[in-house]
Amino acid sequence: MEVFRQLKQFYWSEKRLLTVSIFCLMVATALGLVYPYLLKILIDDVIKQENYAIVPALAIGVFVVSTVKGIFQFLHGLSGGRVGNRVAYSMRNALYEKLQYLSFQYYDTAKTGDLMSRLTADLEAIRQFIGFGFAQVLNMFLMFTFGSALMLYMNWQLTLITFVTVPLLAYTAIRFEKKIHPAFREMRLAMSNLTTAVQENITGVRTVKSFAREPYEVEKFSSRNENYKANQIEAASIWGKYFPVMELFACLCVVILLASGGTMVINGSLTLGELVAFFSLIWYIIGPMWQIGFHINNYTQSKASGERILEILNQYIHVKNKENATELSDEDVQGHVVFTDVTFAYPDKKPALRQFHVDAKPGSVIGLLGGTGAGKSTVIQLLMRAYSPQAGSITLDGHAIDDVTIHSLRKQIATVFQETFLFSSSIRNNIAYGLRHVTDEQVMYAAKLAKAHEFIMELPLGYDTVVGERGMGLSGGQKQRIAIARALLKNPRVLILDDATSAVDMETEHEIQAGFKELMKGRTTFIIAHRISSLRHADEIIVLDEGRTVQRGTHEQLLAMEGPYRKTYEIQYADAPDAAAAARRLAN
């Protein structure tokens, strides 16, 4: 029960409604015991004594009991359903909120399909058990307790004889739970892997088709589907092994009752009515016992699902606010960014940044150049506090970014990533994402600066055009220009362009940069680019290689010295002899 103890915060707030549900169930279960007793009266007092005058009273009694029992069963179902849905609602919100605040480090290894499985299938298993499964398990114990008490009251000797196989049934049920829980755990994991395969295939369907890898994807899915099937068969085999044994022990109770009870009736120590009542009561008890495997099944599935949900809820947040963290205000931020001897390494990898230093004055433009894995994007990730450095410090206007709230820090920063993400919404909503009280004129102005206004107006509904999932229906350059407009509308003090113009042509890049020049005034800007044309106007260009700073200076200074910057320049402008010659003249 440790899993449900940890989940107590979600269902204990509904304890009043849960109490109502349990009370109604107890009343309905207790009323069910009236029927066997009425049978005893019908046989012993009506049929044997030929006292038919009490038949109308018995009929009315049955009608009243049935009606009241039905009302309490309805109230139990209604309250139980509300409890389950309210708990699922609270848990779903908590899971989603936790996912929003988990660090980038968690998402480096997390799988979307697995997370979706936890938010859907696992939550549904918890909802079903808390809303109804728990009540059914309780009902099983109530029926056993109430039924046993009435049987003991009627004839305790016959009751003890009849229950001789109950300990064996309980022992088998416990063994069953220990075997079935790991099987359901593996089955849930196999299901999440299957969901991940489907999600990745749908997301990357264009890549799959462009490489004609449909057979490979079918084979990969079939393999994971086979694993899921094998886990289901394993669970079914455990069920098939233990359920007949539990059914056998339950049926032995009936056999013993008929043999012993029949003998007592013949001897006169038990009336026929009492035997019939006993027979009715034993089924009242055995019925739930036959379902004990089903209840354990539900409990085990919900327990496995609860463990998977708790893995998210208990996940450690690597980057979070300190106690009494400072809240940055817009008026206090000028955009002075300083990295001092910053060193950082991703988990289980060599350092991505080594003793990095930069002093970016307010309004300055810093360019970062280097090959893949040089550490350019790491600089930006650290500035945004996606990760925390192992050594060194980062400050914004004299405030250590570790000492300010993450929200207020990122509020001052706008980023355009190389991999553009757009939501399945209108273009207007994508540009104004996360901002309130934004006018159409402001949206259009940002789009014009990003050179996106013209192609937007050519779309059927203009700014009201709904883009497909992840921006499907737009070209890479169009998506990137919308992302740029989104960053510009935020009006940040620090602007980050992570290869922001990589998906546009040279002419469009030149037009966008012309808009940037006006917008960059008074803002600290970090530009990551592979094209030197995007960096040449930076106040300082830093060339990185395997996390180390190998060159730094202005465009003219770097061209005037031997090194990777000039080499990159000559490669990119190899078809422009005049430009290459100019570089050599600067060197001389």
Q: Give 479-539 as a DSSP string.
A: HHHHHHHHHHHT--SEEEEESTTTTS-HHHHHHHHHHHHHHHTTSEEEEE-S-GGGTTT-S
How many other CB atoms are there within 10 angstroms of residue 123's CB atom? 21
Inter-residue contact 24 to 73 (CB < 8 Å): yes
| Three-state secondary-structure class, residue 452 | coil
Tell me the CATH class for 325-412+526-553: alpha beta
Alpha carbon separation from 88 to 14, 78, 92, 95, 138 (Å, rounded): 12, 16, 6, 10, 20
Residue with tokens 């970090």, as numbered in its chain:
526
Q: Give the mean model confidence (pLDDT) for residues 559-578.
A: 80
- Tell me the CATH number for domain 91-313: 1.20.1560.10
pLDDT band (50, 70, 90) for residue 306: confident
Question: What is the separation, in whole angstroms, between the first and last Cα of the chain?
Answer: 78
Q: Give the mean model confidence (pLDDT) for residues 213-241.
A: 85
pLDDT at 588: 42
462-521 pLDDT, tens digit per residue, is 999 888 666 667 877 788 788 888 888 888 889 888 876 665 666 666 666 665 665 677
pLDDT at 371: 83
pLDDT at 586: 45
**Any idea what the Cα angle at residue 468 is, between residues 466 and 474, rounded to 5°?**
90
Backbone angles phi, psi at 275, to 5 degrees: -65, -45
Q: What percent of the chain has pLDDT over 90?
A: 11
The Cα 304–Cα 467 span in angstroms is 39
pLDDT at 587: 45
Residue type, 134: F
Establish how many alpha carbons lie within 13 A of residue 372's alpha carbon, considering only the half-sphere containing its beta carbon: 0
pLDDT at residue 330 greater than cutoff 80 = no
Q: Give the mean model confidence (pLDDT) for residues 374-387.
A: 89
Strand 365-370 to 524-528 pairing:
parallel
* 394 vs 512 pLDDT, higher one: 394
Q: Where in the chain is the domain with CATH 1.20.1560.10?
A: 91-313
- Of the given ranges (42-56, 89-103, 452-466), which has the lowest mean pLDDT? 42-56
| Three-state secondary-structure class, residue 131 | helix
Q: What length is written for the chain?
A: 588
pLDDT at residue 539 greater than cutoff 60 = yes
Chain centre to alpha carbon of residue 174: 32
Q: Give the mean model confidence (pLDDT) for residues 28-34.
A: 82
**Any idea what the Cα angle at residue 207 is, between residues 205 and 209, rounded to 5°?**
70
- Of the given ranges (192-206, 331-345, 457-471), which has the lowest mean pLDDT? 192-206
Q: Give the mean model confidence (pLDDT) for residues 175-194.
A: 79
pLDDT at 366: 93
- Of the given ranges (71-75, 264-268, 517-521, 556-560), which has the lowest mean pLDDT? 517-521
* 576 vs 96 pLDDT, higher one: 96
Q: H helices within 102-122, ranges in order?
A: 104-107, 112-117
The Cα 336–Cα 494 span in angstroms is 9
Calculate the average pLDDT of the chain.
Answer: 82
Q: Give the mean model confidence (pLDDT) for residues 350-375.
A: 89
CA-based nearest residue to 381, from 333, 435, 345, 428: 345
pLDDT band (50, 70, 90) for residue 583: very low
Q: Where in the chain is the domain with CATH 3.40.50.300?
A: 325-412+526-553
pLDDT at 31: 85
Tokens of 557: 């200074």
CB-based contacts of 335, cutoff 8 Å, min separation 6: 360, 362, 363, 396, 397, 412, 493, 494, 522, 523, 524
Tokens of 218: 């079918």
Inter-residue contact 360 to 338 (CB < 8 Å): yes
CA-based nearest residue to 550, from 529, 565, 528: 565
- Of the given ranges (380-384, 418-422, 481-485, 562-566), which has the lowest mean pLDDT? 418-422
130-172 pLDDT, tens digit per residue, is 887 777 777 778 777 888 888 888 888 888 888 887 788 777 8
Written in H, E and C, the secondary structure of 153-194 is HHCHHHHHHHHHHHHHHHHHHHHHHHHHHHHHHHHHHHHHHH
pLDDT at residue 77 greater than cutoff 60 = yes
Tokens of 472: 């499907």
pLDDT at residue 343 greater than cutoff 60 = yes
How many other CB atoms are there within 10 angstroms of residue 170's CB atom? 14
Angle between helices 34-41 and 55-101 (to 10 degrees): 170
- Of the given ranges (147-161, 262-276, 307-321, 502-516), which has the lowest mean pLDDT? 502-516
Strand 524-528 to 351-360 pairing:
unpaired
